[in-house]
């Protein structure tokens, strides 16, 4: 195994995970739980590969329809479902998940665990002779997984802290469907090889960053207000 390529493959995921962890300034999540989520997210690559292999057998659609099936169903639905499943089975009901920002933190760690292993598979093994794959995936693919996860965590938090059963079901459903759509669009633009779609790839990436940074900032400010409220409350 090429050590240099391995380092190139793991750096983006670790760097992004660290940056998101540092964003959680006022009520940090337990390191042990975060590592558990990250590792299980990484291991979810195994069932994802198995499911994607089976689903690919059902892709009998020609041309653009085949690309859409692969983008939205084979990749988007399978990967986002498994990444979300990690959170639902580990941190979602944990007492440490006590504010909305936490949903984004856990979702990002699950997604980056997955993205890191996926990146190793592509950069170190599948395309080891192409030096540009590591650059492309480090700039676009790994951050994209993080951005899909921000949306996932945003809705998971709305579900967890919802007031009614109907709200819970709506937001829990959106925590899967919206990331799947975002993920599917990302992959479809690249897989379809339609020039007009390729032309909007960079604008789409910019859109993902803007929308999801707003979501992250919304919950960050809410976390900050809660922390400051506790301080002022204790002073009284």
First vs last C-alpha separation in the chain: 60
Q: What is the DSSP code string of 33-51?
A: HHHHHHHHHHHTHHHHHHH
pTM above 0.85, yes or no: yes
According to the model, what pLDDT value does residue 129 have?
78
Is 80 exceeded by the pLDDT of residue 227?
Answer: no
User: Are the CB atoms for 114 and 225 separated by under 8 Å?
Assistant: no
pLDDT single digits (tens) 32-64: 999 999 999 999 999 999 999 999 999 999 999
Query: What's the whole-number mean pLDDT along residues 161-171?
Result: 96
According to the model, what pLDDT value does residue 234 have?
55
User: Are the CB atoms for 38 and 112 separated by under 8 Å?
Assistant: yes
Question: Quick one: tokens of 206?
Answer: 């910019």
According to the model, what pLDDT value does residue 135 have?
87
What is the Rg, in whole angstroms, of the alpha carbon atoms belonging to the chain? 18
What is the percent of the chain where pLDDT is above 90?
83
Question: Quick one: tokens of 19?
Answer: 């940056």
Query: What's the whole-number mean pLDDT along residues 185-191?
Result: 96
pLDDT single digits (tens) 100-129: 999 999 999 999 999 999 999 999 988 877
Is 70 exceeded by the pLDDT of residue 164?
Answer: yes
Tell me whether residue 186 is exposed, middle or buried, using C-beta atoms within 10 angstroms of its C-beta: 0 to 12, 13 to 18, 19 or more: buried
User: Are the CB atoms for 142 and 116 separated by under 8 Å?
Assistant: yes
């Amino acid at each position: 195994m090429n050590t240099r390529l391995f380092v190139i493959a793991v750096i983006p995921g670790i760097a992004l995970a660290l940056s998101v962890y540092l964003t959680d300034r006022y009520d940090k999540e337990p390191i042990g739980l975060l590592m558990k989520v990250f590792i299980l997210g990484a291991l979810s690559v195994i069932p994802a590969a198995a499911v994607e292999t089976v689903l690919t057998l059902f892709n009998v659609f020609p041309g653009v329809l085949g690309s859409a099936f692969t983008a939205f169903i084979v990749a988007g639905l399978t990967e986002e479902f498994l990444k979300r499943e990690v959170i639902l089975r580990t941190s979602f009901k944990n007492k440490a998940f006590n504010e909305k920002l936490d949903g984004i933190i856990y979702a990002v760690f699950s997604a980056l665990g997955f993205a890191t292993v996926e990146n190793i598979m592509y950069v170190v093994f599948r395309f080891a002779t192409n030096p540009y794959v590591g650059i492309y995936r480090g700039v676009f693919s790994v951050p994209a997984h993080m951005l899909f996860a921000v949306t996932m965590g945003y809705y998971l938090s709305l579900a967890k802290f919802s007031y009614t059963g109907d709200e819970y079901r709506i937001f829990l459903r959106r925590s899967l469907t919206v990331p799947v759509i975002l993920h599917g669009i990302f992959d479809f633009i690249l897989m379809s090889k339609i020039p007009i779609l390729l032309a909007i790839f960079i604008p789409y990436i910019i859109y993902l960053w803007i929308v999801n940074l707003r979501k992250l900032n919304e919950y960050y400010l809410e976390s900050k207000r809660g922390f400051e409220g506790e301080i002022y409350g204790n002073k009284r």
